[in-house]
Structure 1
Amino acid sequence: MYKYMELLNELESMIGGSLKEGDKMPSIRVLSDRYSCSKSTVIRALSELERTHLIYASAKSGYYVLGGTERRETRGETIDFVRSAPDPGIFPYLDFQHCLNKAIDTYRNDLFIYGTPQGLPSLIREMQRHLTDYQVFAEPDRIFITSGVQQALTLLAGMPFPDGKRTVLLEQPGYPLCAAYLEEHRIPAIGIRRDADGVDLDELETLFRGGGIKFFYTIPRFHNPLGASYSRRHKEAIAELAARYGVYVVEDDYMSDLERDAKSDPIYAYDRADRTVYLKSYSKIVFPGLRVAAAVLPLELTESFRRHKQLLDIDSSMLSQAALELYLKSGMFDRHREKIRRCYGRRSELLSEAIREALHAYPGAFAGPPPAEGGIHTHLLPAAPAALSSAIDRLRRRGIVAESANSHYLRGFRTEAMLKLNVSGVREDDIPVGVSAVAEELAQAVRRTRPPSRI
């Protein structure tokens, strides 16, 4: 990331935190010394803040804060632990608007004609470079641009694979829309249980050895609704089993941009047999409505995928592709990624701390150990599973929206009573308040279900 963009993030955090509207910004010399950069870098960053109307210049006086970067809002009546859309307050509206306008000027001869099923060639070349940040190295002919990860999943589920296998293996709980699509279109699907520690590798091997698995769909990082990530040992083992038994792995790495461990690589990085389909979404990091994702395919699947995608929609939105290309090339994406990591990192820490406090305050409310840390969503296992539905109803009456994970299971698969918590759209001040209320209701559910003592 460019130095001035790092400085921009620092200054925006300052404006949204210690500096309030009307406060004077530190001088150019002070900022240059503090952040070990040139005065020209400081001036460029300040000019960008002025362009986006966060500060204004006063002649012979300096720069002053015009407004904060965070949304100005008061606590609402509802704490919503269900909404999974990114926080609108950190959307890069102005940056991406600039890229859209620039895309129209740059690609005016390409935007109004049909493109190619694979995607905008210049975006694919940029995507090849960009994906190396995630330890995904692929030739351009293996990279396809799709209308979100959902389109890639539907294409993979519906198209024939070279080995003729038909059954899709899903983690349980898992992505609800994928399961719903398979059931609606009567595509054979079975589940394998996953918990905070991962899947049972012996069971996975047994299923792979059975010979009918077309592909194994997995969310290795910050799984929804579990919040857990696979260990390196798990990822290596999955790649090795896929190679041994000729099974494809479809790796949905949609939360990769929130990863703070530089040594955490995807399953794709451990694949030596070309059995992994790597999916990368930009909905959670930029805009849900952007509907652009990248699919990196094994060479054996590329021609079939191309043919079926062309029959489905000819091409994905050329304007969205062109704007994303410029957003990646300019360095704006790197700046925004660092900004959203900080924002969601704070929420993740608040969520983990709130759960630890709740476990201490209401020790009998939960079953099992504390959930995994590190993401913006997690799950709680109630000690009184049968009372979960009534506890959710009582929470709603208190203005707290939460739900179980039942929709994340295939029909017929044995569900586990589980309460989902997602804090991507919850104000930071509301996180401990909401988690405490959840724990209180779960504790009361235990007391209500406990049989009366005999005298």
Structure 2
Amino acid sequence: MNIPLDRHSPTPIYLQIRNYLSRLIKSGKIPDGQKLPSIRVMSTSIQVNKLTVIEAYSLLEADGLIHARQGSGYFVNRTITVLSNLTLRSTFSPSQEVIISQGGGSFFEQYTASIQARRQQDIIEFSSGFPSSSISDNLQRVAKRALANAGDILFREDFPQGQLMLRQLIAQMLVQQGLEVSPEDIIITTGSQQALSLAMQYYLQKDDWVIVETPTYHGALGILENLQAKVIGIPMTVEGMNLELLEQYLKSHRPKLIYTISTLHNPTGITTSQNHRQDLLKLAEQYECFILEDNAYEGLNFQPVPSPIKALDRHNLVTYISTFSKTLMPGLRVGYMVVTGEHYQSLVKHKLLNDLHASTVSQAIVSEFLASGHYRRHLNRLRINNLQSRNVMLQALENYFPEAITWTIPKGGLFLWTHLPHYLPIQAICSEALSHNVLVASGAAFFLGQGYPAMRLNFCQTPEDIEHGIKILGQLIKKYLTKSFISIDLPSQYVSVSSIHL
């Protein structure tokens, strides 16, 4: 196959390959089911490194356009329906009001309700922040092999920073994301929730000021409330945290920490640009404020994303956190922190006082996934499934939700964010939805105080459940909209709405 490449273009070669093949597949010039040239044949024919071809094929697989068959190569998928009736122009413009509070959210209640719901067969679970609970035979085989090869390491205590092998493998993985660190910069934690707790306890004391995005991850709000920190909620724009307001409050309140989710933000799904990340870091440097970057959903992106803010950090201001709970298996409870400079050893000591070390069994399993290459292939399949599920949910929203509702179109992750008119009773809608066996995460949990009515919807469900659950939600919202029209004089600004592209 001959692919025209511009080797002087600012567009990377692997993206040129991906974009060219993507056009051929979508136009039907490469038909469904056809096998693509092998990695070796392609690299030889267009004179590029094999790793370049692997990266291009991996992106096509993440786009849902091709799939890998073990031992056979890459094949074109059935073309995924393009949702042409969506409005792709972003209209995400919530009110830019800063919220100051002592913490908040309802993490405990929502988390326990979600766990309870997942134990019931007839519940459609839109509230979870985790992927589908299905586990393939391949995942089970890798886990069994990991335990068989681990030997007596499973019966020994380990260093608080985690097993060296796993830290080496994570460091190699992060290099591919543009973050160059060594194993000595990594601390393995019992999930990213523990990493968040350790970092916030380390950087903050009672009554210290901390900045978060509004809305933000409710688990972080729960930790800050427990620490009795004073929280400043800076509103989100379509580009991410409002940096003008951020600078204003950095100057006036001199906070100790900025908590941000730069990639696939929880709950909105926003991924910030390279420029936004650079500007945020410059502000932190100017006002000598630490940054806690929590990218728990990194790796689930449908297209390339900028390198983490930590990759730009030259003054050891940024602590980076991620996890395998959202991409592999939640029950493994393996997360990690990237900490550079003088803070590393202090956080290792802090980790030791909490639980000695993360599970050696779980660390061995994750190491096997990374070392064998199964993790990369698993991520590619997960991206394909998530993209298809997201599209099913978007189509269902178009079919069943009234025009007064907006929603985000995230470029990855597990969920999207719906924005309701301010006069709708979100708690009543969620309660009535549960009576119809549909569990929804009310947006109220993700705000410091009273925010706008919203719902976070996990799209990692079966197409049938998505269709049925969104239909029920749409009917309930229409019912409450009708009641609101009768009881209030509706301002015109809440009538014209479209879907939101992030």
- Interval of TM-score (by shorter of Structure 1 and Structure 2): 0.7 to 0.9
Q: For residue 150 of structure 1, report the CA deviation from its aligned partner.
A: 1.0
Q: Please give the alpha-carbon distance, in whole angstroms, between the structure 2 residues aligned to 1:301 and 1:126.
A: 22
Q: Give SS of 1:107's match.
A: helix
TM-score (norm 2): 0.69
Q: For residue 248 of structure 1, report the CA deviation from its aligned partner.
A: 1.5
Is the Cα–Cα contact under 8 Å of residues 352 and 373 in structure 1 kept in the other structure?
Answer: no
Is the Cα–Cα contact under 8 Å of residues 271 and 305 in structure 2 kept in the other structure?
Answer: no
Q: Give SS of 2:271's match.
A: coil
Is the Cα–Cα contact under 8 Å of residues 354 and 431 in structure 1 kept in the other structure?
Answer: yes
1:121 aligns with 2:158: no
Q: For residue 204 of structure 1, report the CA deviation from its aligned partner.
A: 0.8
Q: Percent identity?
A: 24
**Residue matched to 1:282:** 324
Q: Give SS of 1:88's match.
A: coil
Q: Please give the alpha-carbon distance, in whole angstroms, between the structure 2 residues aligned to 1:257 and 1:43.
A: 21
Q: Please give the alpha-carbon distance, in whole angstroms, between the structure 1 residues aligned to 2:439 and 2:183.
A: 44
Q: Give SS of 2:128's match.
A: coil
**Residue matched to 1:82:** 127
Q: Give SS of 1:285's match.
A: coil
Q: Please give the alpha-carbon distance, in whole angstroms, between the structure 2 residues aligned to 1:142 and 1:35.
A: 40
Is the Cα–Cα contact under 8 Å of residues 145 and 295 in structure 1 kept in the other structure?
Answer: yes
> Are residues 444 and 295 of structure 1, via their aligned partners in 2, closer, same or farther at CA, if it must alter by over 3 Å?
same
Is the Cα–Cα contact under 8 Å of residues 157 and 168 in structure 1 kept in the other structure?
Answer: no
2:214 pairs with 157, 172, 181, which one? 172
Q: How does 1:63-82 map to 2 (within 5 A)?
A: 77-82=122-127
**Residue matched to 1:264:** 306
Q: How does 1:203-242 map to 2 (within 5 A)?
A: 203-210=245-252, 212-242=254-284
Unmatched 5+ stretches in structure 2: 1-32, 40-67, 73-120, 490-502
1:418 aligns with 2:419: no
Q: For residue 37 of structure 1, report the CA deviation from its aligned partner.
A: 4.8
1:395 aligns with 2:395: no
2:446 pairs with 398, 408, 413, which one? 408
Count of residues in correspondence between the two structures: 380
> Are residues 357 and 198 of structure 1, via their aligned partners in 2, closer, same or farther at CA, if it must alter by over 3 Å?
farther
Give per-residue Cα distances to partners, 1:401-438, cap 9 Å, x unaligned: 2241112223xx332211221122x2113323432432
1:184 aligns with 2:219: no
**Residue matched to 1:56:** none
Is the Cα–Cα contact under 8 Å of residues 161 and 187 in structure 2 kept in the other structure?
Answer: yes
Q: For residue 338 of structure 1, report the CA deviation from its aligned partner.
A: 0.6
**Residue matched to 1:446:** 481
**Residue matched to 2:35:** 34
Q: For residue 377 of structure 1, report the CA deviation from its aligned partner.
A: 1.2
> Are residues 101 and 347 of structure 1, via their aligned partners in 2, closer, same or farther at CA, if it must alter by over 3 Å?
closer
Q: Please give the alpha-carbon distance, in whole angstroms, between the structure 2 residues aligned to 1:241 and 1:212.
A: 12
Is the Cα–Cα contact under 8 Å of residues 358 and 436 in structure 1 kept in the other structure?
Answer: yes
> Are residues 259 and 452 of structure 1, via their aligned partners in 2, closer, same or farther at CA, if it must alter by over 3 Å?
closer
Unmatched 5+ stretches in structure 1: 1-31, 47-75
Q: Give SS of 1:108's match.
A: helix
Q: Give SS of 2:299's match.
A: helix
1:421 is aligned with what amino acid? L
Q: How does 1:43-442 map to 2 (within 5 A)?
A: 45=71, 77-89=122-134, 91-92=135-136, 94-160=137-203, 166-210=208-252, 212-358=254-400, 362-363=402-403, 365-366=404-405, 369-375=406-412, 376-383=414-421, 385-410=423-448, 413-424=449-460, 426-442=461-477
**Residue matched to 2:61:** none
Q: Please give the alpha-carbon distance, in whole angstroms, between the structure 2 residues aligned to 1:263 and 1:393.
A: 37
> Are residues 234 and 100 of structure 1, via their aligned partners in 2, closer, same or farther at CA, if it must alter by over 3 Å?
same
Give the aligned CA root-mean-square deviation in angstroms: 2.9
